[in-house]
Amino acid sequence: MFLLLIISALIIGASLGLLGAGGSILTVPVLLFIMGLDEKQAIASSFIIIALISSVGGLKSLHQRMLNIKTLLWFALASFPLSAIGAYLGAIMPDGFQTQILIIVMFIAAAVMLSKRKPQPGREVKVKYILVAGCVSGLITGLVGVGGGFIIVPALVIFAGLSMSFATATSLALVTVNAVAAFAGLLITNELPVIDWTVVIGMSVTGALAVIGGRGFAAKLPDKIIKKGFAILLLMIAVITQVMIFI
């Protein structure tokens, strides 16, 4: 079980480092079905794991001067409060609802990654669309414990005019913001469940090492192949998660 946890954390961290998205969406299924946590524990734990892993990638991006600070602030302005609200709404939902929403989100994320459309960076920052994307990614993060990077990266490319490399780098910082806000929402509303810190620290440390490696390879590996492979993995996990619920 510990070996599976380490392998899962490596995949999560590497994906976040390479794409600025995708890896965090695997965290909840790993915590549910490999570590045996209940739904509320898995989602709350994922906020901490996602925040720690993404923050390491975000700091590396900052060191590389690849963060677009102005766009990051606009996006964070919208996503931060919605992440906290989403976390509270998720905490009071009946058991099973959040996992079903997560499965739908996984299918959508896979479809986005498999899309053949290649968004071209724009010339003008469209703030209103950035704010909308920030609200959506924040709400999804809070509800089901994912980072929202699969929404953030395309939005940064299309509406903020960032290159793919700058979009993935900035996404890591925004995923951190979303996860921290969601965790804070649970903490403030006294809806935080018991956290298994051994699992959280183990996944976070392993994932943090992987995200550093992922950032190093981000410019060297074919983006198309990485996205396609990860999309297929997402589809498989979504189907397996749905089957496990019915069993």
* Residue 228 neighbours by CB under 8 Å, 6+ apart: 113, 114
Cα(40)–Cα(96) distance, integer angstroms: 10
DSSP three-state, residue 38: coil
Place of tokens 């943090």: 208
pLDDT confidence of residue 82 = 93
The tally of CA atoms less than 13 A away on the side-chain side of residue 107 is 10
Tally of domains in the chain: 1
pLDDT confidence of residue 159 = 77
For the chain, residues with pLDDT lower than 50 are: none
Annotate 58-83 with three-state secondary structure: HHHHHHCCCCCHHHHHHHHHHHHHHH
Cβ atoms of residues 151 and 136 within 8 Å: yes
**pTM score:** 0.79
Q: Which domain holds residue 214?
A: 2-246
Cβ atoms of residues 100 and 225 within 8 Å: no
pLDDT confidence of residue 197 = 92
Phi, psi of 221 (to 5 degrees): -100, 150
pLDDT confidence of residue 163 = 74
Cβ atoms of residues 41 and 195 within 8 Å: yes
* Residue 41 neighbours by CB under 8 Å, 6+ apart: 31, 193, 194, 195, 196
Cβ atoms of residues 144 and 42 within 8 Å: no
* Nearest partner of 22 among 164, 146, 177, judged by Cα: 146
Report which DSSP code applies to 173: H
Tokens of 8: 């899962």
